[in-house]
Chains A and B, each alone.
Chain A
């Protein structure tokens, strides 16, 4: 009977047609089925879309992923985290240091002296050798040239707020009659130069210098302001470190234009231009001047000692010819916009960037993908892949499924999946510790947290290993201090706090806290009671909140907890330092500069040292680390600082997370030797766990190769 047959056969045939298409579709094992180009393409996935493809303006991770492929900086870090040249072939750091001659002060063995006599004194001392003073000798040996700058007069105009009328600005004219000045050229940066020289000149020589004497202002200002102007305009001593970069010749931007020192200076100016609102402006604030010496040499002079500055030149270099004032004006006119209001932020460059990195920008479909193509003229040899696809897939499960199907090449494994996927023979896996840590911070302005014994006891009562095992599925490591664990700066000699509730009780007893009849800890009739807070929306922190509350309750501490919405948490509690204890995390850079988080000057509202950590020795070390250009000395200072922080326990350092990523097994490193033979090598991560360090040498093969054993 036909009706019945039709009703059964039609759907069966449709389903069969649908099913047979399976044999046409590329599978994970046969990704080239119907699409041989697949081997020459790398597909990455991201949760969020990029926002702005301009390295000086971007602040999100998706944008910087793309920017790092399209743009190239002067330097970057190699496998061992040392700097290596990219657009710069080499660089040198030296220093120019200045001090004002103070003719009113007695110099031991010389009396009151003018510039000439002081220069002679230093020259003599240099000859003499001063073997008894190793510090002084070292400083003197660094001096390459001494010169005298004659006295000079100049005028500076400052705009200040009118004290009578807040809204109006008043002008202050400052006339300066600066005395003679002595300039040193040093072969290396030496932050101890003046400290050592004062052994020669008398300990008071630099400290007693009064800059105010050489200023006159119009109208008159009060003493405090005058001293501030003097400190800025006539400082007793001044360090001006200078960085000289020698640039790589014949490097081209993707549009064929040749890269030169002008582009470096332009990139700097673009960041500093207030119209562009660059988020990197703070990194470059210490720069005094960027000088183009010749097209392949650029010199950067700094206002003061600031060692993290070298790392900032990893910033991708912008092409001046596409973004200078003329180009922007022309673009504004073309778009019919006001040329005066049009800044780099508005330029279409940010959606179709041009750099001199290994990949050329091709296309960007919002919320779908960004496509890059290899740059055949790349100075370091073009990448092996023809094209780089950056897919935007907001859903993690979808990402995972796409990875299994072979339409994404890597997948960031979530903690609970690590055990299963790490051992899967189809994939190669990489893990490493991340650059950030989670901690419990105590408000040291409040009792009982002003006592280091209490803070230590609180830390000892929490079983961090259990947190790592059960909350993080084992994907974390304990840590003891504020530096990145993979760097030299981290002091591995410091042991983590033991989990020891009894020891914690003993420490608390020393601090005067005893258990009362109900089992709560008490001191002078006061129960040990406080509130632990964190932000809502982070499940890990929420779990830790409950664990810490329970652990502390067991030793008799009455802890309340509170989850606050992120903006309330930040604005009302953290910024105003209105909390007892909180759970939070920091993500860190490689640079060991801890000024913002740990220096005692940063404890005011809206600053980052919100726990109120103040320690004179730590302050001193933080400044020294900032000013030190010598790696080994820096490491020494950092180890000491780490030690102090671990002893003081302003935070209970909980853990640093571990990440795991899996990659198609057929992706390998391809190298061609001079004779033209092709070698395939397994991908190996660097010291910091960065597995994509050699990305440009990667290629996907049809089948996973067997590797020669490592020799």
Chain B
């Protein structure tokens, strides 16, 4: 076991190194300049641009820049070019904002998908199965941003409540139950929205996995023993169908850091995904690369056991 772990860690480290090189190259070779050194930006004089380039080693060859960047990253000194704040601190703050969205969304997805998918599998071809299939494909095919806008417009015009952002603007002086509940309310739409998409996909997997298992001998045996349908499906069949989902669960870890770019942007949620997106638009290299590196680490960590 130990030797397996050791080999795996070494392999992943090599992969990580290549990921870091490739992502560094892609970002630096992409067209466009950081807004602070863009000669087209009227806010900056040529002297300022030059000073900036020096300060951030942009005048050095790429491999030195690479070394500088990873030296700073591992000593925790990387700063964002936009506001000179520590990148790790920024990521941590935004991560905490994204976390509730992620947790609620994940719980909803990974609970509801199972009963929905299993029922579909049991009554395969029935009215329930057909309508569930239809709904699932509908939700998968509607673009997320469109669905989000429809939902926002519906809720706002019918209930006249604020839904955008993490909290109601200007709710500073209220009592704490109001503040907490306000936050919970703002969590509702984006997390449910994220979950519906997840449920639509995952319940399809559950259905097909269950279908495969339901035809097995031991399920028939269990039924023949006279076990209740609940026990047959949720104990004997489900346990055997679960295996691929363990892998899938490992793969949602990077979603923690990527967040949901679209949902966070539409709801003005100050989370990770939106930060990364805005950093890309502003060519804030240190921030992009750090987010990229951390998510690469998470992907590899999620798959370390196989």
Interface residues of A (CB under 8 A from B): 1, 3-4, 6-8, 10-11, 14-15, 17-19, 21-29, 33-38, 41, 43, 369, 389, 391, 393, 397-398, 401-402, 404-407
| Besides the known contacts A25-B182, A398-B164, A406-B162, 20 further A-B residue pairs in the complex with CB atoms under 8 A apart | A3-B238, A7-B111, A7-B112, A7-B115, A10-B111, A11-B111, A14-B108, A18-B184, A21-B184, A22-B159, A24-B185, A26-B168, A35-B174, A35-B178, A36-B173, A37-B173, A43-B170, A369-B169, A401-B156, A401-B164
Interface window among B2-10, B24-32, B228-236, B295-303? B228-236
Asked if B175 CB lies within 8 Å of chain A CBs, one says yes
Contact of B230 among A1, A23, A36 (CB under 8 A): A1
* Interface residue ranges of B75-124 to A (CB < 8 Å): 104, 107-108, 111-112, 114-115
Say how far B107's CB is from chain A's closest CB, in angstroms.
Answer: 6
Which secondary structure dominates chain B's binding surface?
A: helix
Q: Determine the chain B residues whose CB is within 8 A of the CB of A24 once the complex forms.
A: 177-178, 181-182, 185
Q: Is the CB of B170 within 8 A of A398?
A: no
In the complex where A21-B185, A391-B169 touch, is A27 in contact with B159 (Cβ < 8 A)? yes
**CB nearest neighbor in A for B270:** A368
Does B152 make an interface contact (CB < 8 A)? yes
Binary interface encoding of chain B residues 119-154 relative to chain A, with 1 for a CB under 8 A from any of its CBs, else 0 = 000000000000000000000000000000100110
Indicate if the CB atoms of A43 and B187 lie closer than 8 Å: no
Is B104 in contact with A14, judged by CB distance below 8 angstroms? yes
B248 on the interface (CB 8 Å rule)? Answer: no
Partner of A404, one of B160, B184, B191: B160
> Chain B contacts of A10 at CB under 8 A?
107, 111
Cross-chain contact A11 with B108 (CB below 8 angstroms):
yes
**A25 touching B169 in the complex, CB below 8 Å, given contacts A7-B114, A18-B185, A34-B175:** no
The answer, yes or no, to whether B304 is at the interface (CB within 8 Å) is no
| B168 in contact with A25 (CB, 8 Å) | yes
Residue of A nearest to B185 (CB): A21
B163 at the interface (CB under 8 A from A): yes
Known contacts A21-B184, A405-B156; A14/B178 CB under 8 A: no
CA distance A367 to B164 in the complex (A): 16
Q: Which residue of A is nearest B167, CB measured?
A: A25
CB distance from B285 to the nearest CB of A (A): 20
Give the distance to chain B from A343, nearest Cβ to Cβ, in Å: 13
**Chain A interface, DSSP helix/strand/loop, else mixed:** helix
Contacts of A4 in B (CB 8 A): 115, 230, 234
Interface positions, chain B 200-245, Cβ under 8 Å from A, are 228, 230-231, 234-235, 238
Q: Is B256 an interface residue (CB 8 A)?
A: no
Chain B residues whose CB sits within 8 angstroms of the CB of A34 once the complex forms: 171, 174-175, 178-179, 182
Whether A3 and B235, one on each chain, are in contact in the complex, defined by CB atoms closer than 8 angstroms, is: yes
Cβ-neighbour of B181 out of A6, A25, A38 (below 8 A): A25
Evaluate contact between B184 and A17: CB separation under 8 angstroms: yes
- In Å, the complex CA distance between A43 and B157 comes to 20
Q: Does B305 count as interface, using CB distance less than 8 angstroms?
A: no
Taking a contact as CB atoms under 8 Å apart, the answer to whether A405 and B160 are in contact is yes
* 10 A-B residue pairings within 8 Å (CB atoms): A1-B230, A18-B187, A18-B188, A21-B182, A25-B182, A28-B160, A34-B179, A35-B171, A401-B156, A405-B161
> How far does the Cβ of B223 sit from chain A's closest Cβ, in whole Å?
15
Residues of chain B contacted by A3 (CB below 8 angstroms): 234-235, 238
Bound together, the chains give a CA A11 to CA B235 distance in angstroms of 20
A16 to chain B, nearest CB (A): 11
